[in-house]
Structure 1
């Protein structure tokens, strides 16, 4: 089995859905299941973020009149349907079913056309980027696949190959992320970006609290509870 990771970057103004992620950097959308055949795609996505970001995301994502996946054109006329499986003010879980994907060129379409069936996909949208992790049987080279995808990108999109390797731990990071609340995710992400976990530390809890506009005790609690989830899942899934 082989594992590839592609990242598609979207410039602001090139895609209505990705513009929501540009506007709300704390918003993230990860798939827990994503499968495709030459004619259909079905997937489950989990989105977390601030309440305003979730509302903006849902307004665009759930519009059956537009495509959330096209790389080569702003839209297509393939049939799609969405079902909200669960939701809170700061999260949604959404099932998507799409038909006629051969007429709507997404990254899974290009991958299947190159390596054949038996492929498993993970994806993550955040901060103007759409990252795909791909697991497939066989040893097919990916240079031609990269060139094919890149040559079909519309203006404002760019492609990067993050890694190509033998498959390792699959989906453990996504399972962990789904167990974090938006508040935990926000505190943990800001702590990493501020250097709280570097040695020596570049930020204190008090400084994080000031940045986030929250009481110190609240930030401390959110970090500790997030750390408990991350460490527990790491031990369960990797040791």
Structure 2
């Protein structure tokens, strides 16, 4: 089993037109299904945008068929989306190769999507689909967990390196001794990628600490 994180261009998935009008927008998908196309990524959280303007932009985005429901919270807005047929076909092509979408988020730089593949052949087939469609992509991380069902709390080498560097360089000091961009430059990665690596690492550690224990 392989866990792969890809950076995909916006056209490879959805919302390219929306990001043209809202370059600072941040999107995170919620309630992601592995193989049921109708319920893949229907729920989105949006941040860093004029939400009133964003409503209209999303409604006119060709990758969106309809906005079913919305709700506004402090600094964020929740959308339930019906995707266009083209988006559903793209996702169908991806998961047809047994690729389960574990997480997905987007900025103007593209989609960062985390997939799970049963085998290396299925991973290679997924990359072939992207290449055949002419979509640019970048593999950010590839992990082969020894125990995929029991890997909570297990940091990847990239996550461990980033966390150790962040701690040693005073990233978690108050005030910070180093900015995200400065630390990212030292680690030879983009600041967006570093932010995501640190976020995932923190979530992994929190889940490991707070996971329920089974009584004897």
Query: TM-score with structure 1 length normalisation?
Result: 0.53
Residue in structure 2 matched with residue 142 of structure 1 by the alignment? 123
CA contact under 8 A between 1:8 and 1:159: conserved in structure 2?
yes
Give the CA deviation at 1:57. Answer: 3.1
Q: CA deviation at 1:136?
A: 4.1
Q: Tell me: CA distance 1:20–1:132, structure 2 relative to 1, closer, same or farther (3 Å).
A: farther
Q: Are residue 9 (structure 1) and residue 1 (structure 2) matched? A: no
| Count, aligned residues | 169
SS of the residue corresponding to residue 40 of structure 1 reads helix
Unaligned stretches of 5+ residues in structure 1:
69-79, 171-195, 209-229
Cα 1:137–1:104 shift into 2, 3 Å: same
Give the 3 Å change call, closer, same or farther, for CA 41–234 of structure 1 in structure 2.
closer
Aligned: 1:238 with 2:208: yes
Task: Tell me what 1:91 maps to.
Answer: 76
Query: How do residues 1-239 of structure 1 correspond to structure 2 at under 5 angstroms?
Result: 1-10=1-10, 15-21=16-22, 23-24=23-24, 27-35=25-33, 37=35, 40-42=38-40, 43-50=42-49, 52=50, 54-63=51-60, 66-68=62-64, 80-88=65-73, 90-98=75-83, 100=85, 105-106=89-90, 108-115=91-98, 119-153=100-134, 158-166=136-144, 199=169, 205=175, 236-239=206-209
Q: Secondary structure at the match of 1:115?
A: coil
Cα shift readout 1:10-69 (whole Å, capped 9, x = no counterpart): 59xx93122245x32xx311112222647534421111224x2x3443322233x6115x
| CA deviation map 1:181-212 (0-9, x unaligned) | xxxxxxxxxxxxxxx976267x985999xxxx
Residue ranges of structure 2 left out of the alignment (5+ in a row): 153-165, 179-199, 210-216
Q: From the superposition, tell whether residues 56 and 238 of structure 1 become closer, same or farther in structure 2 (CA, over 3 Å).
A: farther
Tell me what 1:175 maps to.
none
Distance 2:202 2:95 in 1: 35
Q: Distance in 1 between matches of 2:85 and 2:177?
A: 51
- Name the CA distance, whole Å, in 2 between partners of 1:41 and 1:234: 25
Shift in CA distance, 120/204, structure 1 to aligned 2, threshold 3 Å: closer
* Partner residue, 2:186: none
Give secondary structure in 2 for the equivalent of 1:130: strand
Per-residue deviation at 1:92? Answer: 0.9
Q: CA deviation at 1:3?
A: 1.5
TM-score (normalised: structure 2) = 0.58
